[in-house]
Structure 1
């Protein structure tokens, strides 16, 4: 084993490329997106815990979990339940990706992909605005939170390689394998976009 290799297996495969309209349509809902985020941040969880975490009624959270399950995005984890009555849910994969290009021949799938991407962007902007509005409330984070923007000249193949390297870096930092050192850690959202543009 290489010295920098992580001996702890990830709880789910790293990233799944979505190719089904059903999965994309399931993502294009703000409550379902929040449920997926909560499972990513908190790990496997019960329906009632997810309802509390995302500010929904239990019945609503249950419905959204059913849709996510039917789309193959979450799965039941009976081995984690305390008893037969409890139902625990977990992510099928740790991350998701999709490309609108894959759905160019299917208008309904393309519309679902565009809606899911638009919702992602909207939620990223809302979270950014909320963070900026709370400036000064957490000085220890104000000193380290950052935004970055870079102009690069790249070919499509180079941009693809850049994305792969960035995903590898994020996967390494995203693994929950740091020692139990009594350091208080908070969920941190990182997002970036890269696309052809002109100044």
Structure 2
């Protein structure tokens, strides 16, 4: 049974789930399910630019890892198969895998993929920001240097994650305003200038 933090986010503790998330297509599919909600394999294939058979395979891998599940209540007929995320989000700590080489390797691979995708999204935004001045004026970037203990960094992390979760899990107001998906990421780690 997966472990969930008090905020409902799944704490990934096994190599199978980490390995499943370390694939670019599967990662994009999970993002699409997070942003757009439940979907069929054909809908995800179209959204992520892959063949339907490939999307079905990746969904099977994600389901075996306990990251997605079928949503039969959404099907219009017996042939249609809908999928949804099992959890509102995932997190992991490489420190928890010190005794499991396979899980530690998968954790590094998943982390590397996440970082690569964050970098690519930032590059794409920078290349296109001028075409949407209203969003360019609202977008932000923050970089700060602090002197912290590991415990203080953990406290700061909790505060930032709680704020992001509050905004991502809120009920979207029905006020007629059009809202776009917005990607926000933060990292904190020891470093030198």
TM-score by length of structure 2 reads 0.94
Structure 2 residue corresponding to 1:24, chosen from 18, 28, 31: 18
Cα-Cα RMSD: 1.0
Moved more, 65-74 or 130-139: 130-139
| Paired residues of 1:38 and 1:50 also in contact (CA < 8 A) | yes
Q: Is the 8 A contact 2:129 2:135 kept in 1?
A: no
Runs of 4+ in 1 over 4 A off after TM superposition: none
Aligned mates of 1:50, 1:174 — CA distance in 2: 21
Maintained 8 Å contact 1:28/1:112: yes
The 3-state SS of whatever aligns with 2:138 is coil
Residue 60 (structure 2) aligns with: 66
SS in 2 for 1:117: helix
Deviates more, 1:70-79 or 1:170-179: 170-179
Higher helix share: 2
Shift of 1:154: 1.2
Q: Which has the higher contact order (CA 8 A, sep 6+)?
A: 1
Deviates more, 1:33-42 or 1:72-81: 72-81
Residues 168-177 or 116-125, more deviating: 168-177
Task: Give 1:157 deviation, angstroms.
Answer: 1.0
State the partner residue of 1:113: 107
Q: Which runs of 5 or more residues in structure 2 are unaligned?
A: 1-6
What is the CA distance between 1:198 and its match in structure 2?
Answer: 1.5
Work out whether 1:96 is the aligned partner of 2:84.
Answer: no
